[in-house]
Amino acid sequence: MAHIFNLILVQPLLNLMVLVYNLVPDIGVAIIVLTLIIRALLLPSFGKSLRAQKQMTDLQPKLNALREQHKGNKEAEARAMMELYREHKVSPFGSCLPLLIQIPLLIALYRVFIVGLGSGADLNPLLYSFVHAPAHISPYFLKVIDLSKPSIVFGIIAGIAQFFQSKMMLPKAGGGDATTKALQFQTLYFLPLITILFSLRLPAGLPLYWIVTTLFAVGQQYYIMKTNPTTA
């Protein structure tokens, strides 16, 4: 299983990063370019998911009204919600795709950075025939930040970026039951905190990836919110 994972994710990502590094010998720039390529390839999938997330946000007032209308009757509430989803052609699970994609990507990138940024690592066995192995990959971004070690600065920036991305998709008006409010609170504050805490233990290359991919997502969300009419 690990061999297949390395074959379909880790090795291609490592080769792409080294290929970019050969063109621009700065590992930070290589990671940024790698991230943008990943986001470009996943643009349709993430776009569909973000539209579904926006539709769910737009439907929140109607969902709150249904909860109030069927208060105390969970079965009737669930039926009414499913009917509302069908009416507006919305999937309540459509916004889960980014998380399902990001988790294996983060694991793969962690392995890429461990191998690619490791001192004295022999990359030749992992590189394709058309990818030249550099004599040495410097772990420094702009000759200042060591991306092979944790960075509290990148961790905080990644957490702030995560906060703004989460805040963009929250309903403008308040409301909702206790469960919904708790979930919104966790999304808005807990995820950024977790992002920062994990960044303090991981190579700075990972939070750099997260910063770029999150800022890309913010731009994509902004575009979708401006170009798609409100569902509810």
Domain boundaries, the chain: 2-227
Residue 124: predicted pLDDT: 84
Q: Of 106-115, 145-154, 173-182, 216-225, give the range with the top mean pLDDT.
A: 145-154
Residue 174: predicted pLDDT: 53
Mean pLDDT of 68-93: 82
Residues 6 or more apart in contact with residue 133 via CB below 8 angstroms: 18, 123, 124, 127
CA atoms of 76 and 66, how far apart (whole Å): 9
Range with the poorest average pLDDT among 82-96, 155-169, 199-213: 82-96
CA atoms of 134 and 25, how far apart (whole Å): 9
What is the rounded average pLDDT for all residues in the chain? Answer: 85
C-alpha R_g of the chain: 21
Residues 6 or more apart in contact with residue 100 via CB below 8 angstroms: none
Q: And the tokens for 165?
A: 């991305």
147 in Cβ contact with 203 (< 8 Å)? yes
Residues of the chain above pLDDT 90, percent: 41
Range with the poorest average pLDDT among 15-29, 71-85, 193-207: 71-85
Q: And the tokens for 231?
A: 């569902």
DSSP structural state of residue 149: S
Q: And the tokens for 115?
A: 């191998």
CA atoms of 33 and 20, how far apart (whole Å): 7
Q: And the tokens for 57?
A: 């946000």
Pairing mode, strands 140-141 and 145-146 = antiparallel
CA atoms of 31 and 205, how far apart (whole Å): 7
Q: How confident is the model at residue 178 (pLDDT cuts 50, 70, 90)?
A: low
User: Is pLDDT above 50 for 232?
Assistant: no
Mean pLDDT of 33-44: 92
